[in-house]
Every structure is written in structure tokens, then in C-alpha cells.
Amino acid sequence: MSVDEDARWLEWVTKQFESIAGEDKEIDLEEFKTALKVKESFFAERFFALFDSDGSGSISLDELLKALNLLIHGNETDKLRFLFQVYDVDGSGSIDPDELRTVLKSCLRESAISLPEEKLDDLTLALFESADKDNSGSITFEELKEELENFPEVMENLTISAANWLKPPDSQKKRRHTPRYLTRAYWHNNCRKLLFMGCYVCLNILLFTFAALKHTTAGFWVMVAKGCGQCLNFNCTFIVVSD
């Protein structure tokens, strides 16, 4: 979110809180779900537990805004630590492979990256085995942070996703109206693939054009046939070589 969007979001959160909070100026879990319109029960419960810094079973506006400001303005380490705590449900200080897979899946979905389930499993296993330095079967925050420092793009996407789960509904609606293939995140994460496809299409257009122009005196349909034939030869050769 931009700076202006951040300010509008915090203003929206404040108004939502004040409209729901009672005389004690605090809200419980159910009121929290209503105030921020968090649909996923798991996320609502985990975020509420972490926002409730004094463990009172309710949160004040100060507690809420302090936590949200960390998600918006905190550094990558602060955001990653919060995200780690979200999935460390039992508070053991470590997460297992299933919890890590959930983290990565949320990150990829938020970043408009499409990855088959098998590939996601492979990514989870590779990252987990690499991060679990002591082969304990679980990874600590420090182990995860050390491993993700080798993959700055994954680190960036992970730390962005935490705040996005709490975006106001208007922002989510606008986002859904933007086709996935037109988002900045999609172009950023698939730049090499898109560059290759662009060059590939341009090369086919050039081959078609040059072949067609060599037969301008033979008529329009002959030009089309020659151009298509040249592209067909190129693509067949490309397939044979790439295999």
C-alpha cells in the first residue's frame, strides 16, 4: 500500500474500532472480526492473540494501532517475526513443515504467483531442509530468517503479505477488479518469462514479414503462405532443438 493508502487504512480502522468499542474502549475477539472484517477465523484469532499484548482477552485502540503500525512501517525483520508468530500457534518458538507450507502458500497467492501444489511441496521441503540446520524437525525464527536472507524476493513478498490480510474491504474489491496478469507483482515475478515470450513473438513477426516481402509480386495469399511457412520452419526447428 502507498503512504496515502496507509493513512486512509489506519483512519478506517480507528473509525471501525470506535463505532464498535463499548464504554471501556476495548473490543473482544468477535468485535475484532466485525471491526476489521477479517473473514478467515484462523487469521482473526491469531492476529487478535498477538495484538492483545497484555493477555486480557480484549484489545484497546492503542494496542491495535501499535501492532498495525509495525506491520506497515516496521522493517522486514519485524514483519517476518510477526508472521512467524502467527503460524507458531502453540508458542513453541518453532514451526513445522506444514506450518511453513501455509506461510509460503499465502505469500505466493498474495504476490500473484501461481505455483502447482507439487512445486509448492518441493519448495517447502527444500527450504525446510535447508533451514533446519540442527535436523530437529522444526525451524526457529533465526533459522528461517537466515535462510530467507538468501532469497530476498521471497523475504519481501512474505513481509508484504501479513499487512495485506487486514486491508479494508474497499481495497480488496478494487484489487479483485484488476486482472492478475496486469498486476505489478505478476510482471515483477515473471519478468524473465515475459521477456522471453516478447522476444519470441517479435522474432516470429520479423520472420513472417521478411518471407512475405520476398514474394510481393506473387500476390497476397502467396505472401501469407510463405510467411507462415517460414514461421513454421522456425518453430519446428526450435522445438527439436529445445527437446
**Integer CA distances (angstroms), 128 to 83, 85, 107, 125, in order:** 16, 17, 16, 5
Q: Locate 94 and state its grid cell.
A: 518453532
**Integer CA distances (angstroms), 159 to 100, 103, 131, 147, 155, in order:** 14, 11, 18, 15, 6
Q: Tell me the one-letter amino acid at 82.
A: F
Q: Locate 198 and state its grid cell.
A: 516478447
**Which run of H or of E encompasses 198?**
helix 191-213
The pTM of the full predicted model, rounded to 2 decimals, is 0.54
> 27 exposed, middle or buried (CB, 10 Å; 0-12, 13-18, 19+)?
buried
Q: What is the pLDDT along the chain (243 residues), one digit of tens a residue?
A: 455 666 777 788 788 888 888 777 888 888 888 777 766 566 778 888 888 888 888 998 888 888 888 877 778 788 788 878 887 877 888 988 888 887 677 666 655 667 788 888 888 888 888 888 888 889 898 988 888 787 776 666 665 555 565 655 454 444 445 565 666 666 766 778 888 888 989 999 999 899 888 888 888 888 888 889 999 998 888 888 876
